[in-house]
C-alpha cells in the first residue's frame, strides 16, 4: 500500500459504500447489537408515530406535530451517523479485501502427478498434500512448503515490500504464501492448506471485518454503556410524574430527546468503528491480526519477550575493531585482514572489508592472483594464498595459534590478553596471521540494531518489562543486554525456557508478548497473550501465533504494542469525551424544561438559550453532529505518547474530559443562535 492510500481516510468508493451501509444497518435485528443506538432507534419510531398522531399521549401543544417531526428527523440522522461511522471503518477493510481477492482471481496451478506428468488446474482445486511446480514469472497458487529448488520470490502483493525473498527447501525460509510471485528459477511446492483455508483466505475474511467479534474490553465497555443507558431510562421514567406534580406537562418527544442526549450515544455510535479501525491500523502496518482481541491485548502488554538474534541484534557478528599485537601497526593488520576477506562472502567477511575501508580510506585491489581458502568446521579458519607464496589466514585464536606453531611461527606474548579482553566483552576474537607471523585480532561483535535503545527506553516509560532470550553464554548475553538496554535476559535459552518465563509472568497476572519464526518458537507463541510470527517463518509458527508480520521484521512488536495502546487510549478518551458531553447537555435541557414553572432554575441556564424548544433541539442536533465529526479521530486514533498511566490519565481528563464539557456549551449555543429564528417562523 502506498503512502497516498495510507493517508486517505475516505475515498469516493468507501463513502458511497458507507452511506449505503448506514441505511442497511437500520434493520432492528442488527441495531440490537448496539443497545445504546438501538434505544435511539426506538425513540425514532415513537416520535415518528407521534408525528402522525400528535395527541396519542394527550399532548396539548398546538404545534406538537411540527415539533415531533423535527425531533424524528434529528433522531433518524443520529442513528444514520452512528451507522455511518461503523460502515466507514468496515469499508476500509473491505477495500483491502477486494485488492487481495484480485490476487486470487483466475489463478492457475501446474500440478505434478505421480507419473511425473504436469497438468494445469484452477488454484481453488488444490488440496493439502498436492505437489505443484511454479516457474519464473508465475504466481504461487496457494500456501505451501518448498520441497525442491531455490528461487527469489516477490512478496510485495502481500507484504508491500519490494525486495524479493530467497526461498529454498529446509530451514525457516521454506514457507511460501499464495499470491506471491516467483521472479527467478523455479520451485516445487507441497500444498499445506485446503481450498478456503489458505493464509490469503484468512486475510480476506479478517480485513473484511465480517467475522470480527467484540473483544473482552469492548464487551466490558458495552456493559458500562448499557448500564448508564438503563439508569438514565429510569431517571426519565420517574421524571414524567415529578414534572406533572409541579405542573409541567412534558411532551413524550421531549422526554425521548432528553434520553437520547443523556445516554452515551457518542461513544455508543463510535465504539464499533474504533475497534474495526484498530484492526485496520494494524493491517496497514503490514501485520495481520487474527482477532480484535489480539490487537487489544497489545495495549495491555506488561512483559515483552524478544529473541536476541535477528530481533535485538542483526544476527551476524560484525567487525568492530582491529587490535594489533605489539610491534605490528594497525594499518598493516587492517590491510592483511581486508585482503583475506575480499573474496569472503560471509557477513563477517564483508564487515571486515567495510570497516577496513572506513578506517583507512583506502580501496583494496582484487587484482592479485590469489587462491581463496574457505572456512570449514575442521580448520576453523579462512584466508588467501597469494602467487608470491604469502599465506594470510584469519580464524579462531586456538586454530591460528596451532597453525602458526606447526610451521614454526612465534606466538606474541600480548595475544592472549587481547583475546581474553574481547571475549570478556561478549565478542568473538578473530586472529589474523601472515605466514609465520601473528599480526593481531579482529573484534567481532553482535551489533545492536540502531534505535532499539531508545525504543526500549520508551517501553520502560510506559511500564513494559523487556526480557531478551538468547542461546549465547551468560557473559555474551549480559554484554548485549546491557548495551541494548533490556531489563533482563535469559542465556543459553531453550524453547522450554521461553514457555516457562511466559507462564511465570502470566501467573503474576501480566500480559505477555513475544516474537518468533521457527517451529521451536511455536509453543511459546501459542502460550503468549500476543504472539507475532514472521511471515518468512515456518507454518507451525504462523499457526501458533495470533498475529503475523508480513514484513518479517521482529522489532515490529514494539510498534504493534503502541498501536494496541493507541486503540485503548482512543476508546478511553472518546468515552471520557462522551460522558463529559452528557453533563453539558444536562445544563441545556433540564433548565429549559422547568424554567417556566420554576423560575429559580433559570440560574442553571448558563448558556442563555432562547426557548425550551430551542434548548432541546440544539442539544439534540449537537448530539447528532458530534458523531460524524469524531469519525476521523476514531479512525486515526488519539495521538499516542509513551508515558506512565497516571500522567496519561491526567492528560486525557484535561483534554477530553474538560474539552468534552466545553465543546457542547459552545456548539449548542451556536446551534441555538442559528435555529431560534427558524423556530420563531414555524411557531415553536
As annotated, the active-site residues are 307
Q: Which run of H or E residues covers position 587?
A: helix 556-594
Annotated ligand binding at 345? The verdict is no
- 566 carries a ligand binding annotation: no
**CA–CA distance, 614 with 669 (Å, rounded to integer):** 10
In SS3 terms, 108-131 reads as EEEEECCCCCEEEEEHHHCCCCCE
| Helical (H) or strand (E) element with 574 | helix 556-594
Q: What is the DSSP string of 204-240?
A: HHHHH-TT----HHHHHHHHHHHHHHHHHHHHHHHHH
- 519 assigned ligand-binding residue: no
521 annotated among ligand-binding-site residues: yes
Distance CA 253, CA 250 (A): 8
C-beta separation of 336 from 439 below 8 A: yes
Instruction: Report the SS3 class of residue 66.
Output: helix
Q: Is 375 annotated as a binding residue?
A: yes
DSSP H/E element including 203: helix 199-208
Q: Where are the alpha helices (DSSP H) in 595-641?
A: 612-636
Using the structure block, give the residue that is written with the C-alpha cell 525473498: 165
Starting at the edge strand found earlier in the chain, the sheet holding 313-324 runs 313-324, 437-448, 428-434, 391-396, 381-386, 370-373
Q: Is 14 exposed, middle or buried (0-12, 13-18, 19+ CB in 10 A)?
A: buried
- Tell me how far apart the alpha carbons of residues 257 and 50 are, in angstroms, rounded to a whole number: 13
Q: C-alpha angle 15/16/21, rounded to 5°?
A: 95
Query: Was 344 annotated as part of a binding site?
Result: yes
Kindly write down the DSSP assignment for every residue of 378-404, as one continuous string.
TT-EEEEEETTS-EEEEEEHHHHHHHH
Q: State phi, psi for 311 to the nearest 5 degrees.
A: -110, -60
- At residue 466, the 3 state secondary structure works out as strand
394 annotated as a binding-site residue: yes
Query: Known binder of ligand: residue 102?
Result: no
CB–CB of 530/556 below 8 Å?
no
Burial of residue 205, with CB atoms counted within 10 A of its CB: 0-12 exposed, 13-18 middle, 19 or more buried = middle
Question: How many C-beta atoms surround the C-beta of residue 405 within 10 A?
Answer: 12
Q: What is the CB-side half-sphere exposure of residue 120 using CA atoms within 13 A?
A: 6
In angstroms, the CA 668 to CA 115 distance is: 79
In the numeric block, which cell numbers belong to residue 284? 496497514
382 marked ligand binding residue? yes
Residues pairing with 392 in the sheet: 384, 434
Alpha carbon of residue 652 to chain centroid? 22
| Grid cell for residue 33 | 447489537
Cα–Cα distance, 21 to 212 (Å, whole number) = 17
Using CA atoms, how far residue 9 sits from 96, 114, 415, 564, 566, in Å, is: 13, 51, 63, 20, 17
34 touches 268 (CB < 8 A): yes
Q: Which residue numbers belong to the known binding site for ATP?
A: 344, 348, 375-382, 394
Q: Which residue numbers belong to the known binding site for Mg(2+)?
A: 517, 521
Q: Which residue numbers belong to the known binding site?
A: 344, 348, 375-382, 394, 517, 521
Amino acid at each position: 500500500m502506498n503512502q497516498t492510500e495510507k493517508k486517505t481516510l475516505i475515498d469516493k468508493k468507501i463513502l458511497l459504500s458507507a452511506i449505503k451501509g448506514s441505511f442497511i444497518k437500520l434493520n432492528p435485528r442488527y441495531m440490537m447489537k448496539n443497545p445504546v443506538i438501538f434505544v435511539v432507534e426506538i425513540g425514532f419510531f415513537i416520535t415518528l408515530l407521534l408525528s402522525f398522531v400528535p395527541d396519542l399521549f394527550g399532548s396539548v401543544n398546538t404545534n406538537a406535530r411540527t415539533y415531533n417531526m423535527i425531533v424524528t428527523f434529528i433522531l433518524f440522522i443520529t442513528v444514520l451517523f452512528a451507522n455511518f461511522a461503523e460502515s466507514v471503518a468496515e469499508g476500509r477493510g473491505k477495500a483491502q479485501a477486494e485488492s487481495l481477492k484480485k490476487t486470487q482471481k483466475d489463478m492457475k496451478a501446474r500440478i505434478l502427478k505421480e507419473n511425473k506428468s504436469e497438468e494445469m488446474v484452477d488454484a481453488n482445486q488444490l488440496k493439502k498434500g498436492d505437489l505443484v511446480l511454479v516457474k519464473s514469472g508465475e504466481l504461487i497458487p496457494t500456501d505451501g512448503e518448498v520441497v525442491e529448488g531455490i528461487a527469489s520470490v516477490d512478496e510485495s502483493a502481500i507484504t508491500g515490500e519490494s525486495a524479493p525473498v530467497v526461498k529454498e527447501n529446509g530451514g525457516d525460509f521454506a514457507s511460501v504464501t499464495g499470491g506471491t510471485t516467483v521472479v527467478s528459477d523455479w520451485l516445487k511446492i507441497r500444498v499445506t492448506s485446503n481450498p478456503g483455508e489458505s493464509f490469503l483466505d484468512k486475510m480476506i475474511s479478517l480485513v473484511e471485518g465480517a467475522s470480527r467479534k467484540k473483544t473482552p474490553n469492548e464487551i466490558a465497555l458495552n456493559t458500562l454503556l448499557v448500564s448508564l443507558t438503563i439508569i438514565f431510562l429510569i431517571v426519565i421514567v420517574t421524571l414524567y410524574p415529578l414534572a406533572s406534580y409541579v405542573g409541567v406537562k412534558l411532551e413524550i418527544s421531549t422526554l425521548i430527546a432528553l434520553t437520547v442526549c443523556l445516554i452515551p450515544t457518542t461513544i455508543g455510535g463510535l465504539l464499533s468503528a474504533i475497534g474495526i479501525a484498530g484492526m485496520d491500523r494494524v493491517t496497514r502496518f503490514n501485520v495481520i491480526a487474527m482477532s480484535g482481541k489480539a490487537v487489544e491485548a497489545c495495549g495491555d502488554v506488561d512483559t515483552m519477550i524478544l529473541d536476541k538474534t535477528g530481533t535485538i541484534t542483526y544476527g551476524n557478528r560484525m567487525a568492530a575493531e582491529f587490535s594489533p599485537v605489539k610491534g605490528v601497526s594497525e594499518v598493516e593488520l587492517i590491510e592483511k585482514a581486508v585482503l583475506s576477506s575480499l573474496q569472503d562472502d560471509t557477513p563477517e567477511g564483508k564487515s571486515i572489508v567495510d570497516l577496513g575501508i572506513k578506517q583507512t580510506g583506502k580501496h583494496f585491489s582484487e587484482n592479485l592472483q590469489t587462491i581463496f581458502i574457505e572456512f570449514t568446521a575442521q580448520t576453523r579458519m579462512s584466508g588467501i594464498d597469494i602467487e608470491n607464496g604469502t599465506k594470510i589466514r584469519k580464524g579462531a585464536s586456538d586454530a591460528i595459534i596451532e597453525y602458526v606453531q606447526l610451521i614454526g611461527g612465534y606466538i606474541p606474548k600480548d595475544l592472549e590478553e587481547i583475546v581474553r579482553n574481547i571475549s570478556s566483552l561478549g565478542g568473538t576474537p578473530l586472529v589474523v596471521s601472515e605466514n609465520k607471523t601473528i599480526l593481531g585480532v579482529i573484534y567481532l561483535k553482535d551489533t545492536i540494531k540502531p534505535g532499539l535503545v531508545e525504543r526500549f527506553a520508551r517501553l520502560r516509560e510506559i511500564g513494559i518489562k523487556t526480557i531478551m532470550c538468547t542461546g549465547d553464554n551468560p557473559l555474551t548475553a549480559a554484554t548485549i543486554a546491557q548495551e541494548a538496554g533490556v531489563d533482563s535476559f535469559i542465556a543459553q535459552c531453550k524453547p522450554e525456557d521461553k514457555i516457562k518465563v511466559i507462564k511465570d509472568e502470566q501467573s503474576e497476572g501480566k500480559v505477555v508478548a513475544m516474537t518468533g519464526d521457527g517451529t521451536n518458537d511455536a509453543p511459546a507463541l501459542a502460550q503468549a497473550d500476543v504472539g507475532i510470527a514472521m511471515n518468512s517463518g515456518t507454518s507451525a509458527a504462523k499457526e501458533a501465533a495470533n498475529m503475523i508480520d508480513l514484513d518479517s521484521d521482529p522489532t515490529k512488536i514494539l510498534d504493534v504494542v503502541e498501536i494496541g495502546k493507541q486503540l485503548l487510549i482512543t476508546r478511553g478518551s472518546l468515552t471520557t469525551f462522551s460522558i463529559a458531553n452528557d453533563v453539558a447537555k444536562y445544563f441545556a435541557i433540564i433548565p429549559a424544561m422547568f424554567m417556566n414553572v420554576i423560575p429559580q432554575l433559570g440560574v442553571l441556564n448558563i448558556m442563555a438559550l432562547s426557548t425550551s424548544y430551542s434548548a432541546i433541539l440544539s442539544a439534540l442536533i449537537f448530539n447528532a453532529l458530534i458523531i460524524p465529526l469524531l469519525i476521523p479521530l476514531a479512525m486515526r486514533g488519539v495521538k499516542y505518547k509513551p508515558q506512565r498511566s497516571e500522567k496519561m490519565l491526567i492528560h486525557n481528563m484535561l483534554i477530553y474530559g474538560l474539552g468534552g464539557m466545553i465543546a457542547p456549551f459552545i456548539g449548542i449555543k451556536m446551534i441555538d443562535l442559528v435555529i431560534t429564528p427558524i423556530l420563531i417562523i414555524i411557531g415553536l
